[in-house]
Homo-oligomer: A and B are copies of this chain.
Amino acid sequence: MQPDIATLGSLIGDDSRAHMLTALMGGKALTATELALEADITAQTATRHLTQLVTGKLLTVRKQGRHKYFQLANHQVADVLESLLTLSTQLTIPHIKTGPSDPALRFARVCYDHLAGEIGVQLYNGLVTQGLLLDQGDVTHLTDKGRRFFSKQGFDMDAYAGSKRPLCKSCLDWSERTNHLAGSIGKWILQDLFEQKMVTRRLDSRAVTFSDRGLMRFKARYGL
C-alpha cells in the first residue's frame, strides 16, 4: 500500500483548516471557538473541521471542563507545516516582499516552540559567528564550545541525551529566508525567555513582544 499523501494534503488544503493549523503553529493549545474565530467560520463548521483534523491525526484534543483544547499532534506535523509555509512564500511572493506584513510578527514570533523572525535570525547568526553553532548549509550542529556555553546558561544537556529530537536544528525562516534555531535548544531558549520574563506573548497571534529591558538582557546574554 502506498502512503496516502493525498488525504494529508487535502486536510491541509482547505482554507479554514489551513488557518487553524497555522494558528496552532504558535504552539499554544487553542479552544474550538478560538479556532473558529481565527478561521472566520461558525462554530458548527469548525467542529466538523476539527474532528477531521483529529481523526486525521494532525491534532490532539484535551478536554477541560466545557472547553476543548486543540494542539498540533507532534513536531513532525509542525515540521511539515513549516516546510509548506516556506515553500508557499517562495512560490506566491517570489521577489516582492517576503513574509508577514505585521512588523511585530516580522520582528519576533513563535514558530511552534521556538523563536523566529528577525530576532530569531540574529540569534542564530550570532551563535554561529561566536563558534557555538556550526552551520553547514541546512545542517547545523552544536560545537563543544556551544555545549559548554548552554550548560552554563542552565540548559540540562543530559535531560535531552536520549531524546529523538535533535538538540539543535536549523529551521528556514519564512519571513527572513534564512535560518533560525529550532530543536531542543531552540525550544529551551524560548521557554527560558518567558521564564525570565524578557518577553511576553500576544494573546491573539504568534507575535512575541520584548520589553526594553528584556531585549537588552537577551542581547547581552547571547552576545548580539
Question: Which A residues have a C-beta under 8 Å from some C-beta of B?
Answer: 1-15, 17-19, 21-22, 56-57, 76-77, 79-81, 83-93, 99-101, 134, 136-142, 163-169, 174, 183
Contacts and interface: CB of A to CB of B under 8 A. Distances in A.
Nearest to A1: B101
Contacts of A169: 137-139
Contacts of A137: 163-167, 169, 183
Contact of A141 (B9, B12, B136): B136
Contacts of A5: 12, 18, 21-22, 81, 84-85, 88
Contact of A91 (B56, B85, B91, B183): B56
Contact of A6 (B15, B99, B100, B164): B15
Given A76-B86, A100-B2, A8 B91 contact: yes
